């Protein structure tokens, strides 16, 4: 009888790399799996694991909704500025210029013809 040898666990760094590669490249699970030498179901598992950790651990530190009193105050300030009631945030996007890698540089070129990351944000009446 032959004993099966257990695989080494995938490091947290590699799990994060797999998830970031998937998000950044928009590649299929199969393609990402081939790059990292794992099955496509493993890519999906690690993507969901990393996104869950980001949502539960990091997001609350950086993304928050105002409570009811704060929302009323922000809405009042926006109305003073714009004369439009019941606004608690403004959303917009911008391009952040980057230095592109030599390989696949076209993946980073925006519609304006230069390399950037596209960022979307919501701000209050003070631009925060």
pTM above 0.85, yes or no: no
Q: Where are the domains of the chain?
A: 9-63
Confidence of residue 1 (pLDDT cuts 50, 70, 90): low
Output the pLDDT for position 36.
Answer: 96
Of 67, 60, 55, 53, nearest to 15 (Cα)? 53
Is 91 a residue whose pLDDT tops 90?
Answer: yes
pLDDT tens digits, one per residue of 22-33:
998 878 999 999
| Ordered DSSP codes for the chain | -PPPPPPPPPPHHHHHHHHHHHHHH---HHHHHHHHTS-HHHHHHHHHHHHHHIIIIIHHHH-----HHHHHHHHHHHHHHHS-SS---EEEEEEEE-PPPSTTGGGGB-TTSSBEEEEEEEE-TT--
């Amino acid at each position: 009888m032959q004993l099966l040898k257990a695989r080494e666990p995938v490091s947290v760094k590699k799990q994060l790399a797999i998830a970031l590669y998937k998000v950044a490249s928009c590649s299929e699970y199969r393609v990402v799996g081939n790059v990292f030498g794992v099955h496509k179901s493993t890519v999906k598992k690690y993507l969901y694991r990393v996104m869950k950790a980001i949502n539960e651990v990091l997001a609350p530190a950086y993304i928050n909704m105002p409570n009811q009193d704060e929302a009323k105050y922000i809405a009042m300030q926006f109305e003073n500025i714009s004369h439009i009631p019941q606004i608690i945030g403004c959303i917009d996007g911008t391009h952040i210029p980057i230095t592109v890698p030599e390989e696949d540089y076209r993946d980073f070129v925006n519609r304006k013809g230069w390399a950037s990351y596209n960022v979307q944000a919501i701000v209050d009446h003070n631009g925060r």
